[in-house]
Structures are given as C-alpha cells and as structure tokens.
C-alpha cells in the first residue's frame, strides 16, 4: 500500500517500505550502523544498489525541505534523527592532493581497501559544468575540485552550495539541495577535509554527512572505520 502526499514526487510505499523521492526508491529500514565497507556490503547483500551521493542529497533534501505531510512520516523523521545523533555514509572515495581533491563514486563500497591512482584519474577528466571550476569525467563518476575552488571550515548556506568540494561530492544540483538543507539547521554548515602540503603525497579518505551539533557537516576526511554510519539501499 502506498501513502502519498498531495505532491506526487514524495511517497511512502508500505509492505516492503520504500521512501520514494523524485523517482528514487530508498528501502526502509536503513542498514544497521556500521563501517563504510560493512554498511555498503550489507546493502549489496540484499540485492540493492548503494546510493550515490546525489541520491543521498535527494533523501536529505526531502527529509528537511519536502512537503510537511511527508516530513512528518516516521521513516522521514528517522532520517533527521540519524543526522542528529549519528551520520549517513556518502559513498565516495576522496583523494586529497596538494592541488585539490579527486572525488570518485564508490558503488561497490571499496573505501580505502584499494588505492586510487592520481595520474589515471586526471586522464579521465574532460568537462566542467557551466559556472563551476570542478572537472568531471564524461560519465560523471570522477570529479576534481582545484584547491582554490573550495574552503574547508565554516560556510554560509549559499557558499556551501557553491563550494568546489561539495559540488565534486554531490554534483551541481545535489550541492544546491544540500545548501537548502543547511538552511534548515540552527547554525551555518561546515566542511571537513585534508590540507596536503606541497611535499606531501596524496591521502585517501571517504565521506559522511551529519547534523549532530545543529549544523550540517560534510566530512571528507573519514577513514571509514567508524561504526555509527547508516545508509539506505536503493531499488533500481
């Protein structure tokens, strides 16, 4: 049985409960909190798809900015509770370099178990979205934000949405949606990452999002071994 709001882009489908947001079908309950790789493996083990960062942005946007009737659903309230008390894994692999950060989609939850090769990533970059300095591969799975396109630390909601690391992580549209999400919090958003010196080699990390202290955090410096991260499997 499906329960719909007046806005047909948002829906709770019961039986096997699905949180439907603009055609994305998030399966509820969410995976039990665990490490980046364990949560991802659990999603794949259920024959579901690991959410892209863009899909995670859609889920968060719906939970904070969707129609009021939809936001009051218990499954959607749970999204906000997880953000307040724990976090959602963002399935990207980040390679922080002294020139900027490469962000690579991680649909198999590889995390830090395999090293990324900077030269190979650079060769696949080919285009920039209009108005952005972030470079994308032709299939969108690899992105590079130059060091002067992002700022680690405090942001306004507006600067967060335009930040190079946020765009590399979630795409232009996803970054805009997370900027709107940030406006729903009491305090301004913040980004976390690694500053790599000129003589240092690249360092690899994964990402997560949370709102534990009344502000939206995008953390791109996680090792992936924390056990308080959630994710929702997605139905194709």
pLDDT in tens, 93-142: 999 999 999 999 999 999 999 999 999 999 999 988 767 899 999 999 99
Q: What is the pLDDT of residue 142?
A: 97
10 has pLDDT over 80: yes
Task: Express each pLDDT in 179-233 by its tens digit.
Answer: 999 999 999 999 999 999 998 999 999 999 999 999 999 999 999 999 999 999 9
Q: Is residue 4 very low, low, confident or very high in pLDDT (cuts 50, 70, 90)? A: low
Q: Is residue 1 very low, low, confident or very high in pLDDT (cuts 50, 70, 90)? A: low
Q: Is residue 12 very low, low, confident or very high in pLDDT (cuts 50, 70, 90)? A: confident
Q: What angle do CA 134, 221, 209 make, to 5 degrees?
A: 80
Q: What is the pLDDT of residue 204?
A: 98
Q: What is the pLDDT of residue 6?
A: 60
Q: What is the pLDDT of residue 8?
A: 74
Mean pLDDT, all residues of the chain? 95
């Amino acid at each position: 049985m499906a329960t719909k709001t007046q806005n047909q882009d948002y829906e709770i489908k019961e039986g096997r409960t699905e949180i439907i947001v603009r055609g994305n079908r998030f399966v509820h309950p969410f995976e039990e909190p665990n490490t980046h790789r364990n949560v991802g493996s659990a999603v794949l083990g259920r024959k579901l798809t690991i959410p892209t960062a863009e899909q995670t942005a859609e889920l968060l946007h719906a939970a904070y900015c969707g129609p009021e009737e939809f936001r009051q659903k218990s499954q959607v309230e749970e999204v906000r509770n997880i953000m307040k008390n724990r976090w959602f894994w963002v399935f990207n692999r980040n390679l922080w370099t002294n020139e900027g950060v490469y962000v690579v989609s991680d649909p198999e939850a590889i995390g830090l178990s395999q090293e990324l090769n900077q030269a190979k990533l650079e060769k696949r970059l080919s285009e920039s979205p209009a108005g952005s300095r972030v470079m994308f591969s032709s299939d969108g799975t690899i992105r590079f934000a130059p060091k002067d396109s992002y700022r680690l630390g405090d942001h306004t909601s507006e600067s967060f949405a335009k930040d190079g690391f946020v765009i590399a992580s979630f795409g232009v549209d996803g970054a805009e949606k997370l900027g709107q999400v940030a406006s729903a919090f009491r305090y301004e958003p913040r980004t976390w990452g690694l500053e790599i010196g000129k003589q240092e080699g690249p360092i690899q990390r994964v990402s997560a999002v949370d709102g534990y202290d009344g502000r939206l955090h995008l953390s791109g410096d996680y090792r992936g071994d924390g056990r308080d991260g959630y994710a929702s499997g997605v139905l194709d």
